[in-house]
Protein backbone atom coordinates (compact mmCIF):
# COMPACT_ATOMS: atom_id res chain seq x y z
CA UNK A 1 0.00 0.00 0.00
CA UNK A 2 2.97 2.33 -0.53
CA UNK A 3 1.17 4.59 -2.97
CA UNK A 4 -1.87 4.86 -0.74
CA UNK A 5 0.32 5.89 2.19
CA UNK A 6 1.76 8.69 0.05
CA UNK A 7 -1.71 10.14 -0.55
CA UNK A 8 -2.61 9.85 3.12
CA UNK A 9 0.66 11.62 3.98
CA UNK A 10 -0.27 14.35 1.53
CA UNK A 11 -3.55 14.94 3.30
CA UNK A 12 -1.77 15.12 6.65
CA UNK A 13 0.68 17.70 5.30
CA UNK A 14 -2.09 19.82 3.81
CA UNK A 15 -4.12 19.59 6.98
CA UNK A 16 -7.73 20.66 7.22
CA UNK A 17 -8.82 17.07 6.50
CA UNK A 18 -11.78 15.06 7.70
CA UNK A 19 -12.13 11.30 7.79
CA UNK A 20 -15.25 9.17 7.57
CA UNK A 21 -14.77 5.36 7.58
CA UNK A 22 -12.53 4.73 4.52
CA UNK A 23 -12.82 8.25 3.09
CA UNK A 24 -10.37 11.07 3.60
CA UNK A 25 -11.33 14.58 2.48
CA UNK A 26 -9.02 17.55 2.25
CA UNK A 27 -10.76 20.89 2.72
CA UNK A 28 -9.01 24.17 1.98
CA UNK A 29 -10.82 27.36 2.94
CA UNK A 30 -14.01 25.39 3.30
CA UNK A 31 -13.80 23.80 -0.15
CA UNK A 32 -13.21 20.11 -0.76
CA UNK A 33 -10.01 19.84 -2.81
CA UNK A 34 -9.00 16.17 -2.57
CA UNK A 35 -11.04 13.07 -1.69
CA UNK A 36 -9.43 9.66 -1.09
CA UNK A 37 -11.82 6.67 -0.98
CA UNK A 38 -10.42 3.23 -0.12
CA UNK A 39 -12.39 0.05 -0.93
CA UNK A 40 -11.48 -3.64 -0.87
CA UNK A 41 -10.11 -3.67 -4.42
CA UNK A 42 -8.87 -0.13 -5.11
CA UNK A 43 -8.27 3.39 -3.85
CA UNK A 44 -9.83 6.31 -5.70
CA UNK A 45 -8.28 9.77 -5.45
CA UNK A 46 -10.54 12.55 -6.71
CA UNK A 47 -8.95 15.94 -7.41
CA UNK A 48 -11.51 18.40 -8.71
CA UNK A 49 -13.37 16.67 -11.57
CA UNK A 50 -10.58 14.14 -12.20
CA UNK A 51 -10.28 10.73 -10.57
CA UNK A 52 -7.16 8.57 -10.21
CA UNK A 53 -7.73 4.89 -9.38
CA UNK A 54 -5.05 2.77 -7.66
CA UNK A 55 -5.19 -1.00 -7.13
CA UNK A 56 -2.83 -3.78 -6.05
CA UNK A 57 -3.21 -7.10 -7.87
CA UNK A 58 -0.46 -8.63 -5.79
CA UNK A 59 1.93 -7.38 -3.16
CA UNK A 60 4.48 -6.59 -5.85
CA UNK A 61 2.20 -4.99 -8.46
CA UNK A 62 0.43 -1.61 -8.41
CA UNK A 63 -1.90 -0.36 -11.15
CA UNK A 64 -2.77 3.31 -11.57
CA UNK A 65 -5.55 4.58 -13.88
CA UNK A 66 -5.75 8.16 -15.15
CA UNK A 67 -8.55 8.66 -17.66
CA UNK A 68 -8.27 5.86 -20.21
CA UNK A 69 -4.59 5.22 -19.56
CA UNK A 70 -3.04 2.88 -17.00
CA UNK A 71 0.42 2.56 -15.50
CA UNK A 72 1.46 -0.86 -14.13
CA UNK A 73 4.38 -0.86 -11.70
CA UNK A 74 5.74 -4.32 -10.86
CA UNK A 75 8.61 -5.27 -8.59
CA UNK A 76 10.58 -8.40 -9.51
CA UNK A 77 13.88 -10.12 -8.91
CA UNK A 78 15.55 -7.86 -11.49
CA UNK A 79 14.11 -4.60 -10.18
CA UNK A 80 10.98 -2.61 -10.95
CA UNK A 81 9.26 -2.44 -14.35
CA UNK A 82 6.77 0.14 -15.60
CA UNK A 83 4.24 -0.53 -18.38
CA UNK A 84 1.71 1.81 -19.99
CA UNK A 85 -1.58 0.74 -21.54
CA UNK A 86 -4.71 2.21 -23.16
CA UNK A 87 -8.02 0.96 -21.79
CA UNK A 88 -10.76 -0.18 -24.14
CA UNK A 89 -14.42 0.40 -23.23
CA UNK A 90 -14.84 -2.84 -21.29
CA UNK A 91 -11.65 -2.34 -19.28
CA UNK A 92 -12.63 1.25 -18.50
CA UNK A 93 -16.04 0.07 -17.29
CA UNK A 94 -14.36 -2.58 -15.10
CA UNK A 95 -12.25 0.11 -13.43
CA UNK A 96 -14.91 2.78 -12.98
CA UNK A 97 -18.21 0.90 -12.94
CA UNK A 98 -19.62 2.90 -15.86
CA UNK A 99 -19.05 3.28 -19.59
CA UNK A 100 -16.64 6.03 -20.70
CA UNK A 101 -18.01 9.30 -21.98
CA UNK A 102 -18.13 9.83 -25.71
CA UNK A 103 -14.97 11.55 -26.93
CA UNK A 104 -15.21 13.06 -30.38
CA UNK A 105 -12.39 14.15 -32.67
CA UNK A 106 -11.55 17.67 -33.89
CA UNK A 107 -7.92 17.98 -34.92
CA UNK A 108 -5.81 20.68 -33.34
CA UNK A 109 -3.88 21.02 -36.62
CA UNK A 110 -4.96 20.30 -40.21
CA UNK A 111 -3.07 20.80 -43.45
CA UNK A 112 -4.79 20.56 -46.82
CA UNK A 113 -4.81 21.51 -50.51
CA UNK A 114 -7.22 24.17 -51.84
CA UNK A 115 -9.09 24.16 -55.12
CA UNK A 116 -12.22 25.46 -56.84
CA UNK A 117 -15.13 23.52 -58.36
CA UNK A 118 -17.93 24.52 -60.76
CA UNK A 119 -15.79 27.36 -62.17
CA UNK A 120 -17.51 29.72 -64.63
CA UNK A 121 -15.84 32.83 -66.13
CA UNK A 122 -18.88 33.94 -68.13
CA UNK A 123 -18.69 37.69 -68.80
CA UNK A 124 -14.89 37.84 -68.67
CA UNK A 125 -12.68 38.38 -71.71
CA UNK A 126 -9.78 36.75 -69.85
CA UNK A 127 -10.80 33.23 -68.80
CA UNK A 128 -9.06 31.10 -66.19
CA UNK A 129 -7.13 34.01 -64.64
CA UNK A 130 -7.64 32.37 -61.22
CA UNK A 131 -6.33 28.93 -62.20
CA UNK A 132 -4.38 27.50 -59.29
CA UNK A 133 -1.01 25.94 -58.73
CA UNK A 134 -2.33 23.19 -56.47
CA UNK A 135 1.10 22.23 -55.19
CA UNK A 136 1.29 25.58 -53.45
CA UNK A 137 -2.38 26.34 -52.74
CA UNK A 138 -2.49 25.27 -49.12
CA UNK A 139 -5.03 25.32 -46.31
CA UNK A 140 -4.07 25.45 -42.62
CA UNK A 141 -6.62 24.88 -39.86
CA UNK A 142 -5.85 25.53 -36.20
CA UNK A 143 -8.77 24.29 -34.13
CA UNK A 144 -8.72 25.89 -30.69
CA UNK A 145 -11.78 24.43 -28.95
CA UNK A 146 -13.82 21.22 -29.03
CA UNK A 147 -17.06 20.04 -27.38
CA UNK A 148 -18.48 16.54 -27.83
CA UNK A 149 -21.32 14.52 -26.32
CA UNK A 150 -22.72 11.04 -26.84
CA UNK A 151 -26.10 10.17 -28.31
CA UNK A 152 -26.42 6.67 -26.83
CA UNK A 153 -27.55 5.77 -23.35
CA UNK A 154 -25.54 2.57 -22.87
CA UNK A 155 -22.80 2.85 -25.50
CA UNK A 156 -20.44 5.57 -26.65
CA UNK A 157 -20.05 4.82 -30.36
CA UNK A 158 -22.15 7.69 -31.75
CA UNK A 159 -22.04 11.34 -30.78
CA UNK A 160 -21.98 14.97 -31.85
CA UNK A 161 -18.91 17.19 -32.11
CA UNK A 162 -18.66 20.95 -32.39
CA UNK A 163 -15.90 23.45 -31.78
CA UNK A 164 -14.15 26.58 -32.90
CA UNK A 165 -11.29 26.91 -35.36
CA UNK A 166 -9.19 29.26 -37.46
CA UNK A 167 -8.99 28.56 -41.20
CA UNK A 168 -6.26 30.08 -43.42
CA UNK A 169 -6.21 29.60 -47.20
CA UNK A 170 -3.60 30.40 -49.83
CA UNK A 171 -4.79 30.34 -53.46
CA UNK A 172 -1.58 30.40 -55.50
CA UNK A 173 -2.28 31.47 -59.09
CA UNK A 174 -0.63 29.52 -61.89
CA UNK A 175 -1.08 32.37 -64.40
CA UNK A 176 0.67 35.75 -64.39
CA UNK A 177 -2.33 37.57 -62.93
CA UNK A 178 -3.52 39.10 -59.73
CA UNK A 179 -7.00 40.48 -59.02
CA UNK A 180 -8.43 43.77 -57.80
CA UNK A 181 -11.79 45.15 -56.78
CA UNK A 182 -12.82 47.69 -59.37
CA UNK A 183 -16.16 49.50 -58.89
CA UNK A 184 -17.54 46.53 -56.96
CA UNK A 185 -16.42 43.84 -59.41
CA UNK A 186 -13.41 41.52 -59.49
CA UNK A 187 -11.18 42.13 -62.50
CA UNK A 188 -7.94 40.40 -63.54
CA UNK A 189 -4.70 42.39 -63.53
CA UNK A 190 -1.92 41.02 -65.78
CA UNK A 191 1.64 41.02 -64.45
CA UNK A 192 4.16 41.57 -67.21
CA UNK A 193 7.33 41.81 -65.14
CA UNK A 194 9.58 38.85 -65.98
CA UNK A 195 10.92 38.81 -62.42
CA UNK A 196 7.54 37.61 -61.06
CA UNK A 197 8.10 35.07 -58.28
CA UNK A 198 4.56 34.39 -57.08
CA UNK A 199 1.04 35.75 -57.04
CA UNK A 200 -1.69 34.58 -54.67
CA UNK A 201 -4.90 35.37 -52.84
CA UNK A 202 -5.15 34.64 -49.09
CA UNK A 203 -8.22 34.42 -46.85
CA UNK A 204 -8.85 33.81 -43.16
CA UNK A 205 -12.04 32.46 -41.56
CA UNK A 206 -13.37 31.68 -38.10
CA UNK A 207 -15.01 28.24 -38.41
CA UNK A 208 -17.61 26.28 -36.44
CA UNK A 209 -18.42 22.61 -37.26
CA UNK A 210 -21.37 20.42 -36.33
CA UNK A 211 -20.40 16.78 -36.88
CA UNK A 212 -22.07 13.42 -36.37
CA UNK A 213 -19.31 10.98 -35.42
CA UNK A 214 -19.28 7.16 -35.45
CA UNK A 215 -16.73 4.98 -33.66
CA UNK A 216 -16.01 1.41 -34.70
CA UNK A 217 -16.73 -0.68 -31.54
CA UNK A 218 -14.30 -2.66 -29.40
CA UNK A 219 -11.63 0.00 -29.15
CA UNK A 220 -10.19 -0.37 -32.65
CA UNK A 221 -9.49 3.36 -32.85
CA UNK A 222 -11.30 3.76 -36.19
CA UNK A 223 -13.83 6.56 -36.55
CA UNK A 224 -15.61 8.70 -39.11
CA UNK A 225 -17.65 11.88 -38.99
CA UNK A 226 -19.88 13.81 -41.38
CA UNK A 227 -21.58 17.14 -40.98
CA UNK A 228 -21.63 20.81 -41.81
CA UNK A 229 -19.15 23.60 -41.22
CA UNK A 230 -19.69 27.35 -41.25
CA UNK A 231 -17.25 30.22 -41.52
CA UNK A 232 -17.05 33.97 -40.88
CA UNK A 233 -14.42 35.82 -42.91
CA UNK A 234 -11.78 37.60 -40.86
CA UNK A 235 -9.77 39.08 -43.72
CA UNK A 236 -8.31 38.70 -47.21
CA UNK A 237 -5.44 40.06 -49.26
CA UNK A 238 -3.49 39.51 -52.45
CA UNK A 239 0.28 39.20 -52.52
CA UNK A 240 2.59 39.61 -55.50
CA UNK A 241 6.33 39.04 -55.25
CA UNK A 242 8.49 40.48 -58.02
CA UNK A 243 12.18 39.87 -57.48
CA UNK A 244 12.80 40.65 -53.83
CA UNK A 245 9.89 43.10 -53.57
CA UNK A 246 6.49 42.12 -52.15
CA UNK A 247 3.23 43.94 -52.85
CA UNK A 248 0.15 43.38 -50.69
CA UNK A 249 -3.40 44.63 -51.24
CA UNK A 250 -5.81 44.22 -48.32
CA UNK A 251 -9.42 44.26 -49.48
CA UNK A 252 -12.59 42.22 -49.14
CA UNK A 253 -12.43 41.43 -52.90
CA UNK A 254 -16.19 40.75 -52.86
CA UNK A 255 -15.47 37.43 -51.15
CA UNK A 256 -18.52 36.04 -49.34
CA UNK A 257 -18.37 37.14 -45.69
CA UNK A 258 -20.12 33.96 -44.55
CA UNK A 259 -19.91 30.48 -45.96
CA UNK A 260 -21.28 27.05 -45.25
CA UNK A 261 -20.47 23.61 -46.54
CA UNK A 262 -20.27 19.90 -45.94
CA UNK A 263 -17.30 18.12 -44.40
CA UNK A 264 -16.29 14.50 -43.75
CA UNK A 265 -13.47 12.87 -41.80
CA UNK A 266 -12.07 9.35 -41.61
CA UNK A 267 -9.58 8.67 -38.87
CA UNK A 268 -7.56 6.25 -36.82
CA UNK A 269 -6.97 7.45 -33.26
CA UNK A 270 -5.24 10.85 -33.52
CA UNK A 271 -4.79 11.02 -37.31
CA UNK A 272 -7.46 11.58 -39.96
CA UNK A 273 -8.12 12.46 -43.58
CA UNK A 274 -10.71 15.14 -44.29
CA UNK A 275 -12.54 16.82 -47.13
CA UNK A 276 -14.63 20.01 -47.12
CA UNK A 277 -16.84 21.41 -49.88
CA UNK A 278 -18.51 24.80 -49.54
CA UNK A 279 -21.94 25.30 -51.09
CA UNK A 280 -21.52 29.07 -50.73
CA UNK A 281 -20.01 30.75 -53.78
CA UNK A 282 -16.50 32.10 -53.21
CA UNK A 283 -17.47 35.58 -54.47
CA UNK A 284 -20.68 37.45 -53.83
CA UNK A 285 -23.30 36.76 -56.47
CA UNK A 286 -22.47 38.55 -59.72
CA UNK A 287 -19.34 40.25 -58.31
CA UNK A 288 -16.73 37.80 -59.58
CA UNK A 289 -16.23 34.45 -61.30
CA UNK A 290 -18.56 31.65 -60.20
CA UNK A 291 -16.70 29.01 -58.16
CA UNK A 292 -17.09 26.84 -55.07
CA UNK A 293 -14.04 26.35 -52.83
CA UNK A 294 -13.11 22.93 -51.47
CA UNK A 295 -10.14 21.36 -49.70
CA UNK A 296 -8.78 17.92 -48.87
CA UNK A 297 -6.09 17.20 -46.32
CA UNK A 298 -4.87 15.50 -43.15
CA UNK A 299 -5.44 16.26 -39.48
CA UNK A 300 -3.25 15.39 -36.50
CA UNK A 301 -3.17 15.94 -32.73
CA UNK A 302 -6.85 15.52 -31.95
CA UNK A 303 -8.34 17.11 -28.84
Q: What DSSP assignment string belongs to 75-90? A: EETTEEEEEEEE--HH
Question: Taking the C-alpha atoms of 71, 76, 80 and 86 in order, what is their torsion angle to the nearest 10 degrees?
Answer: -20
Within the chain, which residue ranges are assigned CATH 2.40.160?
Answer: 107-302
Q: What is the percent of the chain with per-residue pLDDT over 90, rounded to a whole number? A: 60
Which residues are CB-neighbours of 54 under 8 A, at least 6 positions away? 3, 4, 42, 43, 44, 45, 62, 63, 64, 65
pTM, entire model: 0.73
* Alpha carbons 115 and 175: distance in angstroms, whole number: 15
Which residues are CB-neighbours of 45 under 8 A, at least 6 positions away? 7, 34, 35, 36, 51, 52, 53, 54
Give 6-19 pLDDT, tens digit per residue: 554 454 444 445 55
Least confident of 57-71, 94-108, 132-146: 57-71
CATH 1.10.287 corresponds to the domain 107-302: no
Q: What DSSP assignment string belongs to 109-166? A: EEEEEEEEEEEE-TT-SSTTTT-B-GGG-EEEEEEEEEEEEE--SS--SEEEEEEEEE
Give 161-186 pLDDT, tens digit per residue: 999 999 999 999 999 999 999 999 99
Amino acid sequence: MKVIYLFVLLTLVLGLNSRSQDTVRVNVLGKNMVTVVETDDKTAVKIGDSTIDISEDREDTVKIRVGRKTVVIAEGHHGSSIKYDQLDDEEYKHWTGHAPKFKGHWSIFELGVNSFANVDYTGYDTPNFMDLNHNKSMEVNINIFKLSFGLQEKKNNIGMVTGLGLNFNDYRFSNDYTIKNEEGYIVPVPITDQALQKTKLSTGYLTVPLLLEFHVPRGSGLWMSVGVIGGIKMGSHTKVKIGDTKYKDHDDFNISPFRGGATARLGYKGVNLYGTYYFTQFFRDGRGPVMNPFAIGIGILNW
